[in-house]
Amino acid sequence: MSDCIFCKIAAGEIGKLVYEDDYVAAFDDLNPVAETHVLIVPKKHIASLNEIDADEHGAMAGHALAAAAKIAAERGLTDGYRLVSNCGAHGGQTVMHLHFHLVGGRAMGWPPFPEE
């Protein structure tokens, strides 16, 4: 999608990729919430998890999950990490190109409602 910032980053037109394969690309978040905060995105534009079709996107989804584990290992996140995809308004999604937040480097709480 021509006016999508994550499409441009995934295509290598702007920014710097920290990982890529045939299906996904990954780059550091602009406003990191932890020492490691990487965004893993499909190279082909998909708006959110709501558009996932298992047959069409299964390989991409598998590559995204494998990329998360690979990047986590490269970053030395031996104590663990979190992988999150915010979906829609209640999920807190602000960029409408599917992305997985890989966050690590500090202990995180659960459930994820710090304001309550």
Burial of 39 (0-12, 13-18, 19+ CB in 10 A): buried
Q: Exactly one of 63, 97, 99, 101 is catalytic; name it.
A: 99
Is residue 97 a contact residue for Zn ion (CB under 5 A)? Answer: yes
Residue 17, number of CB atoms within 10 A of its CB: 13
Cβ-proximal residues to 6 (8 Å cutoff; 6+ apart), any chain? 39, 41, 45, 95, 97, 99
**Measured from the CB atom, is 6 or 100 closer to Zn ion?**
6
Distance CA 112, CA 114 (A): 6
Chain residues binding ligand 5GP by CB under 6 A are 5, 15, 27-31, 39, 86, 92-95
Segment lying near Zn ion (by CB under 5 A), choices 19-27, 38-46, 59-67, 98-106: 38-46
Least distance CB 55 / ligand 5GP (angstroms) = 26
Closest contact distance (angstroms) between CB of 92 and ligand 5GP is 5
Query: What's the min distance (Å) between Cβ of 79 and Zn ion?
Result: 32
- Residue 61 CB contacts under 8 Å (≥ 6 apart), including other chains: 52
Segment holding 84, helix H or strand E = strand 81-84
**Among this protein's residues, is 90 annotated catalytic?**
no
Residues 43-82 that bind Zn ion (CB under 5 A): 45
Catalytic amino acids?
A: 99
Q: Which residues bind Zn ion (CB under 5 A)?
A: 1, 4, 6-7, 45, 97
